[in-house]
Amino acid sequence: PVGGMGAVQAALEGAARRAGADLVTSAAVTAIDPDGAVTVETDTGEQRVGAGRDAAACSPAELDRLLGTAPTAPAPEGAQLK
């Protein structure tokens, strides 16, 4: 896209804010519940937040780990997403 991946991120952020989303930065997702709840670790501790939809920008192996499901394939080594 014109403006690179930063433009994609900015467009997603803008759309989410216009839709009323609360965005949290510097938080590590530690678990995803298939029903929509996400557990995150922030500077102030662990939080469980509800989410109508989750967008995961991670490898399939990482998503399996976050969902607490058995791996669908062996975890590859090195960079998985470009």
The pLDDT of residue 36 is 79
Token match 């509800």: residue?
50
The pLDDT of residue 24 is 80
DSSP 22: P
The pTM (predicted TM-score) of the whole model is: 0.67
pLDDT range class, residue 66, cuts 50, 70, 90: very high
Is pLDDT above 70 for 15?
yes
**Mean pLDDT of all residues belonging to the chain:** 85
SS3 category, 54: coil
pLDDT range class, residue 51, cuts 50, 70, 90: confident
